[in-house]
Every structure is written in C-alpha cells, then in structure tokens.
Amino acid sequence: GAGVSQTPSNKVTEKGKYVELRCDPISGHTALYWYRQSLGQGPEFLIYFQGTGAADDSGLPNDRFFAVRPEGSVSTLKIQRTERGDSAVYLCASSLFSGETQYFGPGTRLLVL
C-alpha cells in the first residue's frame, strides 16, 4: 500500500516568509509525528499527534512553529517568519498506534535564504 507522503519535496523561501508543509500518513494510522533533521544529524522530535490532538508538542523550537491535524489524518506543519536556521529536512512519520514502529515519509527539504 501507499506509504507516508509529504509535499512539497523541496521548498525554497526567503527569510521572514510563511511556509506550510504537508504530510499524508499511511491510511488508518492513528499516530503522526514530525521530526526535523539537520545535515549530518539524527532526526529531532518536534510534535506528536494522537488522532486530531497534539499529545506532545515539547519539541517545537518556539512559537513560530505550529502544526495541525484537523481530521485525524493529514497534518500540516506551519512555520511563520522563517529564519535561516529553520533550514533542514522536515520528516513526517506515522504509526498504527502510538508507541509502535514509525514509518517515515521522504521529507520536505526547506531552505530559507
């Protein structure tokens, strides 16, 4: 079946702009996770959804970052007033239930100029 998909695959924006990154999890997966991976590093946890609610957003770096999952499926990560330091690969993962193996999408490569 289809895996986790993310759009866009690449995003180039200017400092100060607003961006939205989309994640389509595997159908039927209840848990959805966002991670950020900087070059040469392992992914870092940002936020976790169980159903529609953000169960843990402790990894969001500051209040410029926000994520939603209004119908318990697709999720959008929103970044306001982007900064150059936000440049990274943003990975989405889903699992059938929380605490089970996470399946990762291909990521969105964000470059802030």
Partner 1 sequence: ELKVEQNPLFLSMQEGKNYTIYCNYSTTSDRLYWYRQDPGKSLESLFVLLSNGAVKQEGRLMASLDTKARLSTLHITAAVHDLSATYFCAVDEDAGGTSYGKLTFGQGTILTVHP
Binding-site ranges for partner 1 (CB under 8 A): 31, 33, 35, 40-45, 48, 50, 55-56, 59, 91, 93, 95, 98-107
In the block, tokens 């995003």 appear at 11
Kindly write down the DSSP assignment for every residue of 20-71, as one continuous string: EEEEEPPTT--EEEEEEE-TTS--EEEEEEETTEEEE-TT--STTEEEE-TT
Residue 64: CB minimum distance to partner 1, A: 21
Q: Which is nearer to partner 1, 77 or 105 (CB)?
A: 105
Q: Which is nearer to partner 1, 59 or 68 (CB)?
A: 59
Q: Which is nearer to partner 1, 83 or 100 (CB)?
A: 100
